[in-house]
C-alpha cells in the first residue's frame, strides 16, 4: 500500500473551505467575461516553516490561464484570498495550491540566527543549496539563472563577510525572482472547481419594464371605450428605454388573457366588458403561452418590434409565467397538469388570505415529463422569435429539479439564454434557484431602506453569496411600491435609483418610476389603478418638458455605469464608514487595460437615505481598498474626486466632510482622478 494513501482528505499542506464552491462543486460558480472573482481558502501547516498559497485559473480547455499569489486576510486566521479574472465565455475552473515557501523559511530563520551569530556558516550553506536548485529550474530566464548561480557561489565564498553574503542573498533581484516564481516544496492542491462564465447580459445590465398594451392606448370619452396599444405603438417605449441608456426592455406576458374570473381594476373580483384583465392570467380561446394577444398584433408585428429593439441596442426580455387561466387550452387538453381538489374542481392560486381565482397553478408531479417538454417547446418558440432573456414569474412555486433540467436543456442549444428569477421568498429557495441555473434574481433590495438594512444586505450579496447569486436591484415593480417611495417624495426616487445603479451590476425600473408615481392602493404596497388590471398610458414627453421627470437622472446613471467598469462587478464592493446614521458610503475599484496600459477605476458612492432632511457626516475611507498609488496623491497627501452627478470636484483623504441635501442632490457618485502627478 502506498503511504500516505490517496484517499486521505488532507494533502501535505491542508487546503480547505475553498470558495466560491457551490454544493461541493456539483454546480458551478458563475461569472461574466472580465469579472473579478474573489477566491478564498483556509490553508495551514504544522510547525513554523513559511507557507505560500496560490490561486490558479484554468481555461475551458484545461490550460493554466492565470496564477495569483493569495494573501492572508488577517493574522491568525489562516484565511487567504486572491482575485482571478476569466476573460471569455465557457466552463472554466480554478484550484488553490498550498506549498512550503523555501526561500521565506530560510530568510526568516537566517535573519534571526545571523543577528545573534548562531549557525552562520550553516545558514549560508543552506542558502547555497537553495540557490543552486533555483538556478536549475526550467522556467527561469537566463538573467535569473545567472543571478542564482552567482548567489550560490557567493554563499560558498567564505572570504566574504557574513554581511556581504546576506546582502547578496536578499538582493532586490533575487527577491523579485522568488516573488514572481517562488521556491516551492510539498505542493498540495485542492480539487479543480468549476466556474461558468456566461455572456455579459447574464451579470451586467439595466432593465426597463413596460406594458405594451398601455403604450399608445387611447380612450374615447364619447363611447367610454379603450383601444389597446400594440407592438407597433409600443416601439415608442423602446425608443424611450434606449434614450435612457437601458440594455433590456422587459415585457409582462403578451399572451391571450382568460375571461373566466377575470379581475377588474385594482384587483376587484368583477371585471367589466372593457377591462383587459391581468396578463398573468394566461390563456383563452385564441391560445396559450405560444400565442399573442390579438390586441397587440401578430407574430409578424412582434418580430418587427424585436427587430427595432435590436437596432436600438436593446434586448427584449419576455415574461415566462407558468400558470394558466381557466380558459387556457391546457385545462381541457391536459387536466393532469393541474391539481384537482376533493370536489372535482381545479385548484386556483392562493396565498391565504389572498385568492387568485383567475389563475390555475401547474402541478409538476402528475405528468412531469409531458409538462416539462411542453414548457421547453414554448421557450424554444420564443427564442426562435429573437427572445434570449426570460423573466420567470414565481419560479419558487415550481420544483427545483424542473428549473435545473429546463435551463440546462435550453442552454445546450442556446447558450446565450438568460433567466431572471422573480422570487421574493426564503433565502434557501432564492439561492437554490440560482444554483439550479438562474443567472439573475429579484432581491430583498426593494425593502432595504435604512442605513443598517442597506449595509447588511450589500455585504451579504457582494461577499457571502456573490459566487452564484446575482441580484437584480429593481427599484419598483407593478406589485411593489414601498412606503419609502410612497412618502419619500422625489428625493426618495433619486436615492433608490443611485443606490441600485451603483451598488449592483444589474438594476431595473418599472415604467412610471421616472414620473415619480407614488400613490398606493389604500392598505396595500402596490400602485393604485394598477397597470396589471387596466390600461395606463402616460404622458412621458409632457412630464419631461415640464421638468417633472427623473429620466435625465436615470440617463446619467446609466451613462456612468457604461463609463466606469468598476460598477460592472459585484464582488469588489467595500463598505466605507460614515458618522451619520442615514448616510451610506461604499466604493468599487477595478483595474482594466486601455491601449495596453493598466488603468485603475474607482467609484465612491455616498448617499443620504433620509429623503426628508439634510444630513452631514464625516466619511472615513479605507485607502487600501481604493488601490491608490503615489502618483494619485497631491503634494499635500490628498487626492481629487470628481462628482459624476453634479460635476463638482474636491480634495479628499482619509476623512472627509459631506453635506447632502435631498432637495438638491441626495447622493455623491465620485470618481477618483488618477495620475495627478
CA distance 35 to 474: 21
In angstroms, how far is CA 489 from the centroid of its own chain?
Answer: 29
The pLDDT of residue 38 is above 70 = yes
Average pLDDT over residues 333-352: 93
pLDDT at res. 634: 96
State whether 262 and 293 are in the same domain: yes
> 299-311 and 235-243 are packed helices; what angle lies between their axes, rounded to 10 degrees?
20
Residue 69's CATH number: 2.60.40.10
User: Cell 422625489 identifies what position?
Assistant: 490
pLDDT at res. 353: 76
State whether 522 and 416 are in the same domain: yes
Classified as helix, coil or strand, 583 is: strand
Helix (H) or strand (E) holding 379: helix 368-383
Q: Is 324 exposed, middle or buried (0-12, 13-18, 19+ CB in 10 A)?
A: buried
Integer Rg of the chain from CA: 30
Domain edge (last residue) among 131, 165, 197: 197
- Residue 300 known to be catalytic: no
pLDDT at res. 253: 98
The pLDDT of residue 64 is above 80 = yes
CA distance 74 to 524: 47
Band the pLDDT of 356: cuts 50, 70, 90. confident
Cite the annotated binding site for alpha-maltose 1-phosphate by residue number.
263, 323, 358, 394, 532-533
State whether 172 and 256 are in the same domain: no
Domain edge (last residue) among 521, 542, 565: 565
Percent of the chain with pLDDT over 90: 95
Residue 152 belongs to a domain: yes
pLDDT at res. 352: 80
State whether 162 and 210 are in the same domain: no
Structurally, the chain folds into a number of domains equal to 4
Average pLDDT over residues 160-169: 96
Q: Are 631 and 664 in contact (CB under 8 A)?
A: no
Band the pLDDT of 677: cuts 50, 70, 90. confident
Residue 604 belongs to a domain: yes
Percent of the chain with pLDDT over 70: 99
CA distance 240 to 224: 29
Average pLDDT over residues 70-81: 95
State whether 226 and 302 are in the same domain: yes
Torsion, Cα of 550, 556, 558, 559 (10° steps): 160
Residue 496 belongs to a domain: yes
Strands (E), 75-115: 79-84, 90-101
pLDDT at res. 287: 98
CA distances from 430 to 196, 198, 424, 539 (A): 19, 20, 7, 37
Tell me which residue of 85, 71, 80, 105 sits closest to 15, measured CA to CA: 80
State whether 556 and 627 are in the same domain: no
Helix-then-strand count for the chain, H and E = 16, 32
State whether 559 and 495 are in the same domain: yes
pLDDT digits (tens, 9 = 90+) for 124-146: 999 999 999 999 998 899 999 99
pLDDT digits (tens, 9 = 90+) for 436-468: 999 999 999 999 999 999 999 999 999 999 999
State whether 240 and 270 are in the same domain: yes
- Residue 365 known to be catalytic: no
Strand partners, 640: 651
Q: Which among 78, 422, 569, 665 is annotated as catalytic?
A: 422
Q: Note the residue count of the chain.
A: 677
Domain span holding position 650: 573-672
Residue 354 belongs to a domain: no
Helix ranges (H only) for 448-550 are 451-459, 483-487, 489-503, 540-545
Residue 337 belongs to a domain: no
CA distance 235 to 305: 6
Tell me which residue of 419, 113, 39 sits closest to 248, measured CA to CA: 419
Band the pLDDT of 354: cuts 50, 70, 90. confident
pLDDT digits (tens, 9 = 90+) for 652-666: 999 999 999 999 999
The pLDDT of residue 4 is above 90 = no
The pLDDT of residue 361 is above 50 = yes
Residue 126's CATH number: 1.20.58.80
Q: Which among 101, 374, 393, 455 is annotated as catalytic?
A: 393
pLDDT digits (tens, 9 = 90+) for 549-608: 999 999 999 999 999 999 999 999 999 999 999 999 999 999 999 988 999 999 999 999
pLDDT digits (tens, 9 = 90+) for 91-130: 999 999 999 999 999 999 999 999 999 999 999 999 999 9
Residue 631 belongs to a domain: yes
DSSP state of 265: G
Backbone dihedral angles phi then psi of residue 483, each to the nearest 5 degrees: -60, -30
Helix (H) or strand (E) holding 578: strand 573-578
Average pLDDT over residues 3-20: 87
Classified as helix, coil or strand, 22 is: strand
Residue 634 belongs to a domain: yes
Q: Average pLDDT of the chain? A: 96
Domain edge (last residue) among 157, 186, 215: 186
State whether 615 and 494 are in the same domain: no
State whether 524 and 394 are in the same domain: yes
Residue 300's CATH number: 3.20.20.80
Cell numbers found for residue 637:
497627501
The pLDDT of residue 1 is above 60 = no
pLDDT at res. 3: 66
The pLDDT of residue 284 is above 70 = yes
Residue 339 belongs to a domain: no
Residue 643's CATH number: 2.60.40.1180
Band the pLDDT of 2: cuts 50, 70, 90. low
pLDDT digits (tens, 9 = 90+) for 294-315: 999 999 999 999 999 999 999 9
State whether 62 and 149 are in the same domain: no
State whether 212 and 180 are in the same domain: no
Give 522-566 as a DSSP string: TTSSSBTT-TTTS-----HHHHHHTT--SHHHHHHHHHHHHH-GG
Average pLDDT over residues 641-652: 98
Amino acid at each position: 500500500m502506498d503511504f500516505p494513501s490517496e484517499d486521505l482528505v488532507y494533502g501535505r499542506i491542508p487546503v480547505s473551505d475553498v470558495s466560491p464552491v457551490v454544493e461541493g462543486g456539483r454546480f458551478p460558480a458563475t461569472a461574466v467575461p472580465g469579472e473579478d472573482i474573489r477566491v478564498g481558502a483556509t490553508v495551514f501547516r504544522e510547525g513554523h516553516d513559511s507557507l505560500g498559497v496560490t490561486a490558479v485559473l484554468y481555461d475551458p480547455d484545461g490550460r493554466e490561464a492565470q496564477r495569483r499569489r493569495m494573501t492572508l486576510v488577517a493574522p491568525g486566521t489562516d484565511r487567504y484570498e486572491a482575485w482571478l479574472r476569466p476573460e471569455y465565455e465557457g466552463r472554466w475552473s480554478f484550484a488553490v495550491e498550498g506549498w512550503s515557501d523555501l526561500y521565506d523559511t530560510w530568510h526568516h530563520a537566517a535573519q534571526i540566527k545571523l543577528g545573534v551569530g548562531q549557525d552562520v556558516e550553516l545558514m549560508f550553506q543552506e542558502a547555497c543549496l537553495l540557490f543552486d536548485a533555483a538556478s536549475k529550474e526550467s522556467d527561469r530566464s537566463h538573467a535569473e539563472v545567472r543571478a542564482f548561480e552567482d548567489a550560490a557561489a557567493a554563499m560558498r565564498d567564505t572570504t566574504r563577510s557574513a554581511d556581504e553574503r546576506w546582502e547578496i542573498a536578499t538582493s532586490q533581484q533575487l527577491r523579485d525572482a522568488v516573488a514572481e516564481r517562488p521556491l516551492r516544496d510539498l505542493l498540495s492542491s485542492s480539487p479543480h472547481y468549476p466556474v461558468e462564465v456566461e455572456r455579459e447580459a447574464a451579470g451586467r445590465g439595466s432593465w426597463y419594464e413596460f406594458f405594451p398594451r398601455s403604450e399608445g392606448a387611447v380612450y374615447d370619452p364619447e363611447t367610454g371605450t379603450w383601444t389597446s396599444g400594440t407592438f407597433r405603438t409600443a416601439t415608442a417605449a423602446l425608443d424611450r428605454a434606449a434614450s435612457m441608456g437601458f440594455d433590456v426592455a422587459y415585457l409582462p406576458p403578451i399572451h391571450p388573457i382568460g375571461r373566466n374570473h377575470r379581475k377588474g381594476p385594482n384587483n376587484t373580483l368583477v371585471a367589466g366588458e372593457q377591462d383587459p384583465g391581468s396578463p398573468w392570467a394566461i390563456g383563452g380561446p385564441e391560445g396559450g403561452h405560444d400565442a399573442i394577444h390579438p390586441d397587440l398584433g401578430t407574430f409578424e408585428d412582434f418580430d418587427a418590434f424585436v427587430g427595432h429593439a435590436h437596432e436600438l441596442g436593446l434586448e427584449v426580455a419576455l415574461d415566462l409565467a407558468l400558470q394558466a387561466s381557466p380558459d387556457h387550452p391546457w385545462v381541457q387538453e391536459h387536466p393532469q397538469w393541474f391539481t384537482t381538489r376533493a370536489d372535482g374542481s381545479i385548484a386556483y392560486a392562493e396565498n391565504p388570505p389572498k385568492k387568485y381565482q383567475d389563475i390555475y397553478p401547474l402541478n409538476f408531479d402528475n405528468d412531469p415529463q409531458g409538462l416539462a417538454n411542453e414548457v421547453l417547446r414554448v421557450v424554444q418558440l420564443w427564442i426562435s422569435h429573437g427572445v434570449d432573456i426570460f423573466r420567470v414569474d414565481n419560479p419558487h412555486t415550481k420544483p427545483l429539479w424542473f428549473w435545473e433540467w429546463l435551463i440546462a436543456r435550453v442552454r445546450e442549444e442556446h447558450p446565450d439564454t438568460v433567466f431572471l428569477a422573480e422570487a421574493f421568498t426564503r433565502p434557501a429557495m432564492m439561492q437554490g434557484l440560482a444554483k439550479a441555473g438562474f443567472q439573475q434574481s429579484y432581491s430583498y433590495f426593494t425593502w432595504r431602506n435604512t442605513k443598517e438594512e442597506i449595509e447588511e444586505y450589500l455585504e451579504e450579496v457582494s461577499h457571502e453569496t456573490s459566487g452564484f447569486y446575482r441580484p437584480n436591484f429593481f427599484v419598483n415593480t407593478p406589485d411593489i411600491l414601498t412606503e419609502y417611495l410612497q412618502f419619500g417624495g422625489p428625493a426618495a426616487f433619486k436615492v433608490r435609483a443611485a443606490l441600485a445603479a451603483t451598488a449592483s451590476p444589474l438594476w431595473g425600473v418599472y415604467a412610471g418610476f421616472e414620473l415619480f408615481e407614488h400613490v398606493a392602493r389604500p392598505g396595500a404596497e402596490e400602485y393604485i389603478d394598477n397597470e396589471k388590471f387596466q390600461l395606463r398610458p402616460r404622458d412621458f414627453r409632457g412630464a419631461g418638458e415640464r421638468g417633472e421627470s427623473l429620466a435625465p437622472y436615470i440617463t446619467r446613471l446609466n451613462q456612468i455605469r457604461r463609463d466606469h467598469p468598476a460598477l460592472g462587478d459585484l464582488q469588489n464592493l467595500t463598505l466605507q464608514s460614515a458618522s451619520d446614521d442615514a448616510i451610506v458610503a461604499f466604493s468599487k475599484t477595478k483595474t482594466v487595460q486601455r491601449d495596453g496600459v493598466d488603468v485603475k477605476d474607482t467609484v465612491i458612492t455616498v448617499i443620504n437615505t433620509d429623503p426628508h432632511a439634510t444630513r452631514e457626516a464625516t466619511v472615513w475611507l479605507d485607502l487600501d481598498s481604493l488601490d491608490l498609488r503615489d502618483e494619485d496623491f497631491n503634494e499635500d497627501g490628498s487626492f481629487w474626486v470628481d462628482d459624476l452627478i453634479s460635476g463638482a470636484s474636491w480634495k479628499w483623504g482619509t476623512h472627509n466632510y459631506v453635506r447632502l441635501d435631498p432637495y438638491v442632490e441626495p447622493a455623491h457618485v465620485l470618481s477618483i482622478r488618477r495620475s495627478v502627478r
